[in-house]
Structure 1
Amino acid sequence: MNSINTPRRLLLASALLAAGMLLPQFANAQGTYPNRPIKFVVPYAAGGLPDTVARIFAQRLG
């Protein structure tokens, strides 16, 4: 039983290693996110607490 599982484990380990080596390549290909401005909508009146918190949050986002 152990001799049958050994090739299967070796194949699985090789496949996982190959997949792990390709993952950083896909991450670098995505580029910067977001690549356009984000619209931040606050459904409350200007000058209130939700508006103030949203403005602070938007400044920290960039």
Structure 2
Amino acid sequence: MTDIHRKPRKPGSGRKAIYDAPMGRVNLPMTAVQRAKLMRLGGAAWVRQQIDVSPEPPRQEAAG
């Protein structure tokens, strides 16, 4: 199929953004058991929520 046959996208179509800021992807190696538990906990939404509510770690000063 060439671009000639494609219909133009309608304004507002497509998946709606979760956040105003652009998002990136992160790949995390895990076992099938860990992945199943992650899905039971809520998947990516649960991970984002855990990151948002967790305190920032103390800042490490550069050695030098």
TM above 0.5, yes or no, is no
- TM-score tier by shorter-chain length is under 0.3
Between structure 1 and structure 2, the one with the greater Rg is 1
Q: Which structure is richer in relative contact order (CA contacts within 8 A, separation 6 or more)?
A: 1
| Structure with the higher helix share, 1 or 2 | 1
TM-score, normalized by length of structure 2? 0.26
TM-score, normalized by length of structure 1? 0.27
